[in-house]
Amino acid sequence: MYDNKKKIIAIITLVMLLVVGWWTKRQYFDKPTLITVVGEGRIKVQPEMVRFTITVLNNASSSTQAIVDNNHLVQKLISVLRSSGVDNNDISLAYVRVVSSQNQYQASNNVEATLKNLAKLDNLIIELYANGAKSITNIIFTTQNSKDLEQAIALAIKDAQDRAKELAKATKKMLGRQVSITTVEMGEASALTGEASQADLAGVTSSSPSQIEIARQVSIVFELK
């Protein structure tokens, strides 16, 4: 009876040692080598909409009047946007900023808008300037077509996988499983950069590009065996 008890204790002890040894080996000695690669995918598509920022700037003899005048100008510009088909949900306002200088107060504000009918862009810009816009900047043409975005991401993933295979080959190892993946939006190409002015648009048939380039990046972590 006593011998059987000793055998059971010995077996349990051995099993525990094996488990601890396996865990220690896995935790400290069997950690896989990880590599992180970045892939990029680019496709050319037809733009579907344009985003831009309108700056409103005015001066007055008092801060109160400067704010009142600025709000009036902003509302005029919003009316112009709406008349061109810009939805209320596609219009956003910043906040009025007032700066004093030599008994004068200057108020400024920004209106961000998204126009989905590109055929109206040129006339809209002219109308905005005619109704008090100081500048129109950050003009970005883009698309909401999910298939286009998925295609750019698929190309980025393939690019990352190809890079990972090259690294594995260079280090004489085998490419293992994919541990994680994250996507990065790189933005869209814009035909108009900086500021669009009435002079820039004079005599121009259309300021909208026929194509834009959509770019996406992915960062993938792989195991190396």
Whether 101 and 164 share a structural domain: no
Question: Is residue 201 a part of any domain in this protein?
Answer: no
How many Cα atoms within 13 Å fall on the side-chain side of residue 211? 6
Tokens, residue 193: 């950069």
Provide the CATH number for the domain around residue 82.
3.30.70.2970
Question: Is residue 105 a part of any domain in this protein?
Answer: yes
Whether 40 and 63 share a structural domain: no
Whether 133 and 154 share a structural domain: no
Whether 190 and 222 share a structural domain: yes
Question: Once rounded to an integer, what is the mean pLDDT over residues 51-61?
Answer: 94
Question: Is residue 55 a part of any domain in this protein?
Answer: yes
Find the domain containing 1 and state its range.
1-31
Whether 14 and 122 share a structural domain: no
- 194: alpha, beta or left? (left if phi > 0; alpha if psi -120 to 50): left
Q: 73-107, pLDDT tens digit by residue?
A: 999 999 999 999 999 999 999 889 999 988 899 99
Whether 59 and 103 share a structural domain: yes
Q: 158-208, pLDDT tens digit by residue?
A: 999 999 999 889 988 888 889 999 987 665 544 444 445 444 544 444 467
Question: How far is it between the farthest Cα atoms of the chain?
Answer: 106
Question: Is residue 224 a part of any domain in this protein?
Answer: yes
Distance CA 123, CA 55 (A): 18
Q: For residues 130 and 5, which has the higher predicted lDDT (pLDDT)?
A: 130
- CA 163 to the chain's CA centroid: 24
Whether 44 and 154 share a structural domain: yes
Question: Is residue 203 a part of any domain in this protein?
Answer: no
Distance CA 209, CA 141 (A): 8
Whether 25 and 40 share a structural domain: no
Whether 7 and 59 share a structural domain: no
- pTM higher than 0.75, yes or no? no
The total domain count for the chain is: 3
